[in-house]
A = this chain, B = another copy of it.
Amino acid sequence: MASNSKNIFKEILKKEGLRYTQQRQLVWDELKNSHDHRDAENIYMCIRNNGLNVSRATVYRTIDVLVKNRLVRKMDVGDGRNRFEPRLNDDHHDHMICQNTGDIIEFFNEELEILQEKIANDLGYTVVRHVHQLFVKPLTK
C-alpha cells in the first residue's frame, strides 16, 4: 500500500531516536515520488511550489538521515552539487551520463561488480562502496 514507505520511514526515525514531523515526511514524500537524480535545491523548490513550507536546512538535515539509512542514494555527477535518488527496493546500479543530452542512464552488470571486488581482494581489500560513472556519447550509426 501507499503507506508502506511511510511506515518504513517512521521505523527509521524511531530507530535513530528522532521524532516524526510533518517536514521530514514532506521531504521523504518529495524524494520517493520521483525516480530522477535531483539536487537538494530542486527538492526544496518543489515542496515550496506545492504551497508547503520546509526550510532548506531541514531539507538537507532530512536527506542526511535518509542517506544514512539507505532510503536515498547520494551521488555526484561532477557539477558541484550532490544529487539524490530514492532507493526503495535496495537495487544497486551505476550511471552513464550522456555528454550530449545530460541524460542519466542506469545500468547494472553483475560481472563488473564481481570483477571489481576481485581486483580489491587481490590487493588485500574489500569494497565497501563504489562510484562508477561512464560519461558517454551516442554511437554514430
Contact = CB atoms under 8 A, between A and B. Distances in A.
B128 A99 contact: yes
A127 B107 CA distance: 14
Interface string A115-134: 11001110111111111111
A129 B99 CA distance: 10
B139 A135 contact: no
Chain B CB within 10 A, most for which of A111, A131, A134: A134
Interface in A54-89: 76, 78
B120 A127 contact: no
16 contacts: A98-B125, A105-B123, A105-B125, A107-B119, A109-B115, A124-B138, A124-B139, A125-B136, A125-B139, A126-B137, A126-B138, A130-B132, A130-B133, A130-B134, A131-B132, A132-B132
